[in-house]
Amino acid sequence: MNSQQADRRRFLKGSAALAGLASAGVIYPASAQTPATADRRPDEWYDYGVRSRFVKSMRLGTNGRFGKDPRPGVPRDYGFRAPLQDVYGTITPAPLHFIINHGYDPPDINPAEHRLMVHGLVDRPLIFSMDELLRLPSVTRMHFVECAGNSTASGAGFAPGLARTLPPATAQDTHGLTSCSEWTGVPLSLLLEQAGVKREGTWIVAEGAEQGMHMKSIPIAKALDDTLVVYGQNGEPIRPEQGFPLRLLTPGYEGINNVKWLRRIKVVDQPYMGMRESTKYPSLRVDGKARWFQFELGPKSVITRPSGGQHLAGPGFYEITGLAWSGAGSIRKVEVSTDGGRSWKEAEIQGPVHRKAHTRFRLAWNWNGSEAVLQSRCTDDRGDVQPSVAELGKFIGVTMSLDFFKERPDAITHFNAIQPWRVMRDGSVQNAIFA
Amino acid sequence: MGAYRMRFSRNRLVSLMALLLSFACAPAWAQAPQYGNVGRAPTEQEIRAWDIAISLDGKELPPGSGNAQQGAPLFASKCAGCHGPNLEGSRLGPRLMGGKGTINTTHPEKTIGSYWPFATSVWDYINRAMPRFQEGSLTADQVYALTAFLLFRNEVIGEAEVMNAQSLPKVQMPNRNGFLPPRVEDIPDTNKRGCRFGTCP
């Protein structure tokens, strides 16, 4: 090791210790004194870029790394959470976008062989190749996708309900089943107009090409409104785990509607009641009645810095920042409280604000070193305000205790309640939901 | 309340405008710009090969039939490895029977018999996605027989009762009325259902 490298090592050690907030995913290797040595990775790096080896941020499976449960014989879990606490701005990098694949590895589809069929109650059934879809008029839009069960206590296979409720939970643990991208594709309405929807066509069934051929019934009004058939994500073809080469995007609707590896749209006159939509995604009330097809996701926000698992270096200035979104439309207002909800200040919203998209908010904050509880609440352009835990409980008619939350995640899907983070005197930040 | 009224009247205005527009645009609609030579008509064969989603009236169900007696040995050889010889489930696959009377308790056990609202979903899902890693390997007769076996073991139909394209859609599931809104036609109108900030009552 030459002296330059040794200096650099020392510097990195020091900066890692001092990094505080930034240390969650990123360490900045920079020195005004010594030029850095070259990054000596393979030439292929120039063909297709990779991030710095000092950036460690990664997706995390509900069952741990790679979605693998430590117990033998348990199949891979396919719920992978995005590290929202490390995301800057509003776009989730595609390699960090959350994944729910219902138990299936992404299929290995050759786009030259992929087809989309539109048929059913239409005048002219049609089959499109990818090349043909790329010839049609396209649109580019910013939209979030969110799993219906994001932020509930569900999905932790070997420790049910625990990760999301415990003090060490990060924003990834609590809110990581949502991500936001710039999507490019063709409005589904254009394809349906080409096919000519018959008068009795009131629903569509969308279906994927993976082994389990996920299907979802969607009302025709949504299909003709802002639903897209997308092939592009953040400027590149969508990734295999996001549905390459083609997926459906139903902005603001629960994730299950956004069928990946899309190969078929059938126009029909009723919901087809596939296994997931009729038995897995309905939310079961305590009286035994289940709410099916809840569709739209409500107004929701989370502070991503400072957030659970991060560490404040000491009293002084910190920008509070986070993400807000709503399935109803655009975010009109975000308020932040630093005193556990006793008082609220309006945060600055980063424009342009897109409909049904993650929206970045920021508030300047000087931490005086005493314990503080940080939380955000948003208002969408329909005027709906993100509820507190108690308000959400009241609306669905339950006392939302910690025990209920842990034991009955199926009773509270679409959990969009305000998320509190507690900053301790030592600078550590903890999840304070139900605390 | 004021905001709600305003929204309501605006919605009515929008509907009225849409109605007027639809008349105004009717001739234009007939000659909507076509995207020349983009997309082709699928053949009947292509449609049939992919048209696997089963509606509640069962019109997509193929010919064929089976009963629980025929389904029992099939289950033992193709399904029991994951779902257990007695349908009790394992780490590899969920429990497929039991749970009656638990849906409104603190520990609901959701199975075909206790929870699933439609028998057609059972046929559709077996045909679409089972057995894992051998999806699409079962014949229509085998899917009917396995469906009949699961419905029999959940005490929904008799052991000798034959399931086919006519009989399966007529099967009444015990928990059919356990869902809100009960009528399928009422599902799309979430305003009427009273859904608020992303949750339906």
The pLDDT of residue A67 is 82
Q: Any bridge partners for residue B163, and if so which?
A: B66
CB contact under 8 A, B128 and A215: yes
- Cα A34 to Cα A1: distance, rounded to the nearest angstrom: 15
The one-letter code for the residue type at A364 is A
Q: Is B89 on the interface with A (CB under 8 A)?
A: no
Tell me how close the Cα of A250 comes to any Cα of chain B, in angstroms.
14
CB environment A197-236: b (16+ within 10 A), e (fewer): beeebbbbbbbbbbbbbbbbbbbbebbbebbbbbbbbbee
Burial degree of B109 (CB within 10 A; 0-12, 13-18, 19+): middle
Taking only the tens place, the pLDDT of each residue in A151-178 is 998 754 444 456 788 999 999 999 999 9
Of A63, A55, A104, the closest CA to residue A81 belongs to A63
Is pLDDT at B176 greater than 50 in this prediction? yes
Taking only the tens place, the pLDDT of each residue in A84-106 is 999 999 999 999 999 999 989 99
Tell me which residue in A128, A221, A396 faces B39 most closely, judged by beta carbons: A128
> Which of the four pLDDT bands, split at 50, 70 and 90, describes residue A2?
very low
Residues of A in contact with B8 (CB under 8 A): none
> Which of the four pLDDT bands, split at 50, 70 and 90, describes residue A11?
very low
- CA distances, B152 to each of A62, A90, B129, B195 (Å): 36, 52, 21, 37
Q: What is the mean pLDDT of residues B186-197?
A: 93
pLDDT above 90 coverage of chain B, percent:
78
The pLDDT of residue A72 is 76
Q: What is the mean pLDDT of residues A312-321?
A: 98
Is pLDDT at A400 greater than 70 in this prediction? yes
- Cα A106 to Cα B42: distance, rounded to the nearest angstrom: 26
Whole-number average pLDDT of chain B: 88
CB contact under 8 A, A384 and B197: yes
The pLDDT of residue A161 is 52
Q: Any bridge partners for residue A81, and if so which?
A: A60
> Which of the four pLDDT bands, split at 50, 70 and 90, describes residue A29?
low
- Cα A65 to Cα A81: distance, rounded to the nearest angstrom: 10
- Which tokens hold the place of A367? 């931490």
- Cα A414 to Cα A281: distance, rounded to the nearest angstrom: 11
The pLDDT of residue A6 is 43
The pLDDT of residue A79 is 85
Q: Give the highest mean pLDDT range of A20-24, A57-61, A73-77, A115-119.
A: A115-119
* Residues constituting chain A: 435
Residues of B in contact with A132 (CB under 8 A): 38-39
Residues of B in contact with A385 (CB under 8 A): 197
Alpha carbon distance, N-terminus to C-terminus of chain A:
50
The pLDDT of residue A26 is 52
- Which tokens hold the place of A403? 């025990």
The alpha helices in chain B, defined as continuous H runs, are: 2-24, 26-30, 44-50, 68-78, 80-83, 119-129, 140-153, 190-193
Q: What is the mean pLDDT of residues A269-294?
A: 96
Residues of A in contact with B47 (CB under 8 A): 117, 119, 125
The pLDDT of residue A241 is 97
Query: Which residues lie below 8 Å from residue B34, measured CB to CB, with a gap of 6+?
Result: A194
Rg over alpha carbons for chain B, rounded to the nearest Å, is 23
CB contact under 8 A, A327 and B198: yes
Q: Is A74 on the interface with B (CB under 8 A)?
A: yes
Q: Are strands A215-219 and A203-208 parallel, antiparallel or unpaired?
A: antiparallel
Is pLDDT at A12 greater than 80 in this prediction? no
> Which of the four pLDDT bands, split at 50, 70 and 90, describes residue A32?
low
Is pLDDT at A10 greater than 60 in this prediction? no
> Which of the four pLDDT bands, split at 50, 70 and 90, describes residue A27?
low
The pLDDT of residue A261 is 98
H/E stretch holding A317 reads strand A316-325
Whether residue A432 contacts residue A420, with contact meaning beta carbons closer than 8 Å, is answered with yes
Tell me how close the Cα of A77 comes to any Cα of chain B, in angstroms.
11
Report the half-sphere exposure of B201 (CA within 13 A, side-chain side).
9
**Domain map of chain B by residue range?**
62-181
The pLDDT of residue A162 is 66
Other CB atoms within 10 Å distance of the CB of residue A39: 9
Q: What is the mean pLDDT of residues A371-393?
A: 96
Report the half-sphere exposure of A127 (CA within 13 A, side-chain side).
12
- Cα A1 to Cα A11: distance, rounded to the nearest angstrom: 15
- Cα A414 to Cα B56: distance, rounded to the nearest angstrom: 27
Q: Give the highest mean pLDDT range of A20-29, A292-301, A398-407.
A: A292-301
The pLDDT of residue B25 is 42
- Cα A308 to Cα A172: distance, rounded to the nearest angstrom: 9
Q: Is B92 on the interface with A (CB under 8 A)?
A: yes
Tell me how close the Cα of B141 comes to any Cα of chain A, in angstroms.
20
Listed by number, the residues of chain A in 9-68 with a beta carbon closer than 8 Å to a beta carbon of chain B are: none
The pLDDT of residue A30 is 56
Of A85, A336, A98, A117, the closest CA to residue A208 belongs to A117
The pLDDT of residue A35 is 86
Alpha carbon distance, N-terminus to C-terminus of chain B:
19
CB contact under 8 A, B187 and A219: yes
Q: What is the mean pLDDT of residues A224-236?
A: 98
Residues of B in contact with A125 (CB under 8 A): 41-42, 47
H/E stretch holding A46 reads helix A44-47
Q: What is the mean pLDDT of residues B76-82?
A: 97
Best probe of the A interface among B102, B195, B200, by most A CBs < 10 A, is: B200
Whether residue A210 contacts residue A107, with contact meaning beta carbons closer than 8 Å, is answered with yes
Other CB atoms within 10 Å distance of the CB of residue A177: 26
Tell me which residue in B46, B115, B128 faces A127 most closely, judged by beta carbons: B46
The pLDDT of residue B127 is 98
Query: Which residues lie below 8 Å from residue A15, measured CB to CB, with a gap of 6+?
Result: A27, A28, A29
Q: Is A211 on the interface with B (CB under 8 A)?
A: yes
pLDDT above 70 coverage of chain B, percent:
84
Whole-number average pLDDT of chain A: 90
Q: Is B15 on the interface with A (CB under 8 A)?
A: no
pLDDT above 90 coverage of chain A, percent:
77
- Which tokens hold the place of A215? 């299907």
Of A384, A385, A373, the closest CA to residue A434 belongs to A373
The pLDDT of residue A1 is 38
Between A and B, how many CB-CB pairs are < 8 A?
176
3-state helix, strand, coil in chain A (%, to 5): 20, 30, 50
The pLDDT of residue A77 is 78
Q: Is A355 on the interface with B (CB under 8 A)?
A: no
Q: What is the mean pLDDT of residues A203-216?
A: 97
Tell me how close the Cα of B12 comes to any Cα of chain A, in angstroms.
16
Tell me how close the Cα of B60 comes to any Cα of chain A, in angstroms.
11
Other CB atoms within 10 Å distance of the CB of residue A355: 20
- Cα A74 to Cα A96: distance, rounded to the nearest angstrom: 24
Residues of B in contact with A212 (CB under 8 A): 128-129, 135
Q: Does domain B62-181 have CATH number 1.10.760.10?
A: yes
Q: Is B135 on the interface with A (CB under 8 A)?
A: yes
Q: What is the mean pLDDT of residues A3-10?
A: 43
Tell me how close the Cα of B70 comes to any Cα of chain A, in angstroms.
23
Q: What is the mean pLDDT of residues A48-57?
A: 94
Residue of A nearest to B175 (CA): A289
> Which of the four pLDDT bands, split at 50, 70 and 90, describes residue A74?
confident
Q: What is the mean pLDDT of residues B50-77?
A: 98
- Which tokens hold the place of B177? 């009325």
Residue of B nearest to A385 (CA): B197
The pLDDT of residue A106 is 95
Q: What is the mean pLDDT of residues A301-307?
A: 98
Q: Is B103 on the interface with A (CB under 8 A)?
A: yes
Best probe of the A interface among B6, B177, B197, by most A CBs < 10 A, is: B197
The one-letter code for the residue type at B93 is G
Complex ipTM value = 0.89
Q: Is B91 on the interface with A (CB under 8 A)?
A: yes
Q: Are strands B179-180 and A290-291 parallel, antiparallel or unpaired?
A: parallel
pTM across the whole model: 0.89
Q: Is A418 on the interface with B (CB under 8 A)?
A: no
Residues of A in contact with B110 (CB under 8 A): 279, 284
Is-cis flag, bond preceding A106, omega within 30? no
